[in-house]
Amino acid sequence: MTLRACGLPCARHLNGGWLASPQLSLDAIAQQWASGLLQSHLFIIMGLHVQDIASAIAAASYWKLAGAVLGLLVIYQALSTTYNVFFHPLRHYPGPFLQGASKIPWFLHQTGGTLAFHTQGLHEKYGPVVRIAPHHLSFTDPQAFKDIYGHRIGAASDMPELPKATMFYHVSRRIPHNIISSTIEDHRGLRRSLAHGFSDKAMREQEPIIGRYVDLLMLRLHGLCGAAAEGTAAVVDLKNYYNWTTFDAIGDLVFGESFGCLEANKQHPWVDAILSAVHQGAFLIGLIYLGFGELVELSRLAAKPGRADLFEGVLRKRDELGLTFAHLAGNASLLVVAGSETTATLLSGATYLLVSNRHVLDKVTKEVRETFASAVDINLSSVGGLSYMLAVLNESFRCYPPVTSNLVRRVPLGGQTIAGNYVPVGTLVEVQQWSANHSTDNWADPWTFRPERFLDSEEEAAAKGNKFEALQPFSVGPRNCIGRK
């Protein structure tokens, strides 16, 4: 503020005679001070308003508060880092310094979609067990699958089942538990009720439903290829068609009504939303459950009883299990996502690997055409005899697993021995499939697409450096994928 600006209010008050008034007594001055009027005038004489002073004080308080909070955060981080590096029970496990010191590197890789690939690089450098966060261990040893996820029978019968780490499976309290996020006790009842829909008998009954959408997929692809041959089209996005087929088929099996993607030849809005949610990570997983209430109520719950599908067993036992409408909707939506997006991902990966390895494509094509005289002969039972095609699918699972990481468990009281390593209570543990599938400890030439490795016996494979037990795309134990068949 310039000298002239400061003098302006002073001159105006002097000109008004307020300060020079000889009649103003000390009592009057005291009274004006008490009322705040005098302070106001004094601040104005100084070129300042009371509001300006209040704002300045508030701003100063805000910055002091922000500084104090920042200071506390720095102190907390410093103390936390010191503890994690020098005193934490996991301090002796190998891993990069920053990931052992702070959760921030793990968070950045998780939200950036690079966690699985980054962790695989860490295993390559540090070995079969790596500390990927202060309280988090990753394993690649096949024995870790059994120790973390396996059944508690035989020699392991005295070991408690490791509970799921809630933060990875149940991100919102508003969302009811489903078969994935449920407790160990509740899971048993839910799984029993769903098991009927995944039995061999049920699969045979469901085959016409599945076949209908496979036939429609073939019809669409033949049309596109015919147009391409005539020069009217050039690109076929198989990823979209795989997604449409699997979502339509699973939607029909769960809700009794297709999403209509293949019929309309375009993506259903809900399919769009769920694919976006999957790609954006765990903090958007709540979108999976949005928009399903009305769809379930109007279609599946009103469907004919006894229909051969994946959800019929749950509907029959909803009262016995005490399932609310929200529980039904949550489990139904989960079945759709788990059964469709993962299948489409595998098919996309397998297609890429086949067209990138022409000799493998030629070999599997020859097997199919020599086995079947026509498409009518191809069914769920007969494809089980295609040994090379099944080897291609196993190798595709290994090279391009639909689920790469985050099947996380928490070590209970008493600690746990995992792959020969004692792990203390509270530790988060997992086997990341991308890391296990590309470990040189588990596979010969892990980055080479070689289906022939799965034609060997287990003994032959082990002699060549391939450990079949390291490939667990459906996980293992009591909470493995119910759709494994």
- Among 340, 282, 265, 274, CA closest to 113: 282
Under 8 Å between Cβ of 146 and 409: no
What CA–CA distance (Å, rounded) separates 292 from 295? Answer: 5
Tell me which amino acid residue 279 is: H
The pair of three-digit structure tokens given for residue 265, joined into one six-digit string: 């030849």
Amino acid identity of residue 14, one-letter, is L
Contact call for residues 301 and 368 (beta carbons, < 8 A): no
Torsion angles phi and psi, residue 139, rounded to 5? -120, 155
d(CA 272, CA 279): 11
Task: Give SS3 for 219.
Answer: helix
Longest dimension (CA), the chain: 120
Q: Which helix (H) or strand (E) holds 428?
A: strand 428-431
How distant, in Å, are the alpha carbons of 217, 221, 237, 354, 414 from that of 233?
A: 17, 12, 12, 23, 63
Q: How far apart are CA 321 and CA 331, in angstroms?
A: 13
Angle between helices 358-371 and 325-356 (to 10 degrees): 110
> 261: which residues sit within 8 A by CB, 6+ positions away?
243, 244, 245, 247, 248, 267, 268, 271
- Determine the 3-state secondary structure of 349 from DSSP: helix
Under 8 Å between Cβ of 339 and 246: yes
10 annotated among ligand-binding-site residues: no
Question: Which 3 state secondary structure label does DSSP give 431?
Answer: strand
Backbone angles phi, psi at 132, to 5 degrees: -100, -5
The Cα 308–Cα 253 span in angstroms is: 8
Gap between the Cα atoms of 154 and 458, Å rounded: 22
Please choose, from the candidates 106, 158, 128, 116, the residue with its C-alpha nearest in 3D space to the C-alpha of residue 421. 128
Annotated binding site: 481
Q: Binding site membership for heme: which residues?
A: 481
